[in-house]
A and B are shown apart, each in its own frame.
Chain A
Amino acid sequence: KNEVEQSPQNLTAQEGEFITINCSYSVGISALHWLQQHPGGGIVSLFMLSSGKKKHGRLIATINIQEKHSSLHITASHPRDSAVYICAVSGGETSGSRLTFGEGTQLTVNP
């Protein structure tokens, strides 16, 4: 079992829909990261969370430390949101500052 699990693996939505991507982890962490990867390969950091909730524009990230679960929400989705969204964790006792990644969620938003 992977230390970081994401669902769904693939997600197709219509423009304007509310989107949720889930992430569960099985190790102790100091922070959870949500990242966006476009087809060219470059990765952009969206959020870094250690507790609670963060919001940036149409993106909202939440984390429940007790349940070891995080969600990324996209409100009023747009075709430009199409990308791979990756959850990663850092700061565990064995992992230190390295990132441990989930497999990613391929999001496609159709006009």
Chain B
Amino acid sequence: ETGVTQSPTHLIKTRGQQVTLRCSSQSGHNTVSWYQQALGQGPQFIFQYYREEENGRGNFPPRFSGLQFPNYSSELNVNALELDDSALYLCASSLVGVDGYTFGSGTRLTVV
């Protein structure tokens, strides 16, 4: 049984640039959720993808967008990066209708 893999693990970008983060879901899971965790805070829900469509969104602007692929892996894209986007981005996979989540190790994004 494979876990959730996120890439890259660390990333440094300049303000105004665009970034793509990747997540592979656990085998058997069909839903992927993305969370942003600022330093010293709990994770905040960005959005969730199920059957390649967005299935719920938190309080994040449209410059945060995502994709889910037929193999249930997912991407998080952030355009026009701001300094406040610096955070740990976590991906979690699950099976719709079943409580239970598997988390990746996260991507630490630094915007300078």
Given A30-B99, A90-B99, check contact A43 B90 (CB 8 Å). Answer: yes
Q: Cβ of A57 < 8 Å from any Cβ of B?
A: no
Q: Which of A12-20, A66-74, A75-83, A99-107 touches B?
A: A99-107
Number of A interface residues at 8 Å Cβ cutoff, please give it: 26
How many A-B pairs have beta carbons closer than 8 Å: the answer is: 65
Beta-carbon contact of B92 and A99 below 8 Å: yes
Most buried by A among B44, B101, B104, B108: B101
> Which of A45, A91, A98, A101 has its CB near the most chain B CB atoms (within 10 A)?
A98
Whether the pair B100, A41 counts as a contact (CB closer than 8 A) is no
**Is B99 in contact with A103, judged by CB distance below 8 angstroms?**
no
In the bound complex, do residue A41 and residue B88 qualify as a contact, i.e. CB atoms below 8 Å apart? yes
- B104 engages A101 (CB within 8 Å): no
Cross-chain contact A99 with B35 (CB below 8 angstroms): yes
User: Is there a chain A Cβ closer than 8 Å to B28's Cβ?
Assistant: no
Nearest CB of B to A1, in Å = 14
B-chain residues with CB within 8 Å of residue A42 when the two chains form the complex: 103-106
| B108 & A41 in contact (Cβ 8 Å cutoff) | yes
The answer to whether B42 and A98 touch across the interface, beta carbons within 8 angstroms, is no
Nearest first, the 8 A-B pairs at minimum CB distance are: A101-B42, A42-B105, A41-B106, A43-B103, A31-B99, A103-B42, A98-B45, A101-B43
User: What would 7 more interface pairs be, CB under 8 Å, given A98-B33, A98-B48, A99-B35?
Assistant: A35-B103, A40-B105, A41-B37, A43-B90, A45-B101, A98-B58, A99-B45
